[in-house]
Amino acid sequence: MSGHHTIAETEKAVQAKLGAVPLHREQMAAVSNIHRAATAIRQHLENSVLRTSDLTWTGFVVLWVVWIWGEMETRYVAEEAGISKGTLTGVAKTLQSRGLLERLGHPTDGRLAVLRLTPEGEELMGDLFPKFNEEEVFVSNPLESSEAQSLAEMLRRMVTHLEANGEQRRLDLRGDTPLPPRRSGRRAKHG
């Protein structure tokens, strides 16, 4: 991540390229910096604390969610982790095979599956999370504590807003025309 261009330079180039076009610069910078920061942070954590436990980012997030909430139904785990149900199936399988996670059937509703950490998983997270948190502190070094709070609060507002209004917005945007299917993905058996 040692850039050829700094963020400031990039933003300047954007201005040069788009000087004439009316665009909303503050929001653009906010969104693009959210992704830059997310990528940089993820990379840092994957290549430090996670790597030594041979965990991927997603694997860690899934463990974290289950750890925090205790037993949890898979659909909610997927939601909290920000991945699809299908992805979770695979990730959970990997984590199970490493003995960190276990999968239980629901006693009354046969459709449900519940995830829970094994003792090994609990132990790992108890050990790993403080280290993880140390790196969260490291990446947040340039922020005052109050700034970190205000940053989190603004992002929280954005997420809440998207959860509340994103779907409607997407519906409005596409109007009548249905979304084109993805280039990839499962096909109907016969068409």
Partner DNA sequence: CAGACATAGTTCGGAACCGCAAGTATTGTG
Partner DNA sequence: CACAATACTTGCGGTTCCGAACTATGTCTG
What would the x/- binding string for DNA be over residues 12 to 51, using CB under 7 A?
-------------------------------x--xx----
- Residue 111 found at the interface with DNA (CB under 7 A): yes
Q: How far is the CB of 87 from DNA (least distance, A)?
A: 3
Which amino acid makes up residue 59? G
C-alpha distances in angstroms, 181 versus 54, 168, 186? Answer: 35, 19, 10
Distance in angstroms (rounded) separating the CA atoms of residues 166 and 170: 6
| Cβ neighbours around 143 below 10 Å, total | 13
Q: How many Å apart are CA 67 and CA 132, to the nearest integer? A: 14
State the nearest-atom distance from the C-beta of 161 to its own copies, in Å. 5
With contacts defined by CB under 8 A, how many residues of the chain interact with its own copies?
A: 86
User: x/- site string to its own copies, residues 51 to 90, per CB under 8 A?
Assistant: xx-x------------xxx-----xx--xx-x--------
Determine the distance from the C-alpha atom of residue 102 to the mean position of all C-alpha atoms in its chain, rounded to a whole number: 22
56 is a contact residue toward DNA (CB under 7 A)? yes
The 3-state DSSP class for residue 75 equals: helix
User: Which of these segments, 12-20, 23-31, 75-83, 139-147, binds DNA (CB under 7 A)?
Assistant: 75-83
x/- mask, DNA, residues 163-182, rule CB under 7 A, reads ----------------x-xx
* Inter-residue contact 133 to 126 (CB < 8 Å): no
Q: Can residue 38 be called a binding residue for its own copies (CB under 8 A)?
A: yes
